[in-house]
Amino acid sequence: MISFTLKCEHNHTFDSWFQSAEAFDKLLTAGMITCSVCGALGVEKAVMAPRVHPARNVDKPVAGALSKPASPAEQALAEMRRLIEKNSEDVGEKFADEARKIHDGEAPERSIIGKAKPEEAKALIEEGIPVAPLPWGTKRRTN
């Protein structure tokens, strides 16, 4: 058995016992829970309820819920991506060749980004050429 403090749309609060949280949810969905003071159907949990709207409004979209600002981690990643892409040359499919040339001194030393097959990346690492996967996929630039 579990006890919930419930509140109706007229702000009456009352305690009710239920078999389980699931049983409460089923009864609520079925419209079987009414206010013990006024009999209203718009009843919700008064404590620990994650929302502030009466249950009958639950289908309405909550403004802003889907457009919350990016988390600090997402912002940091976006900033890192911006910096790396700004300071690196995108060599696309030639990444492995270009990385090897830079390592051998045949091409000017610079940061490059591009695509490498897993076996190419493995070969580069085995040759002691520092490569690292970017935390996002590389996309072909259209230019």
Enter the tokens of residue 63.
């403004």
Q: 70 Cβ partners below 8 Å, 6+ apart?
A: 78
d(CA 8, CA 46): 9
**13-18: strand order across its sheet:** 13-18, 2-8, 43-45
Which among 33-41, 96-104, 107-115, 133-141 is the span making contact with Zn ion, rule CB under 5 A?
33-41
Q: Is 46 exposed, middle or buried (0-12, 13-18, 19+ CB in 10 A)?
A: middle
Closer of 35 and 96 to Zn ion (Cβ): 35
Query: Pick from 141, 121, 140: which is nearest to 132 by CA?
Result: 121
Closer of 40 and 83 to Zn ion (Cβ): 40
8 binding Zn ion? (CB under 5 A): yes
Which residues on neighbouring strands pair with residue 37, listed in sequence order? Answer: none
Subset of 90-119 contacting Zn ion (CB under 5 A): none
Binding-site member from 32, 38, 76, 134 for Zn ion (CB under 5 A): 38
Residue 40-79 contact track with Zn ion, rule CB under 5 A, x = bound: x---------------------------------------
33 binding Zn ion? (CB under 5 A): no
Binding-site member from 3, 10, 19, 29 for Zn ion (CB under 5 A): 10
Closer of 32 and 38 to Zn ion (Cβ): 38
Question: Where do contacts with Zn ion occur on this chain (CB under 5 A)?
Answer: 8, 10, 12, 35, 37-38, 40
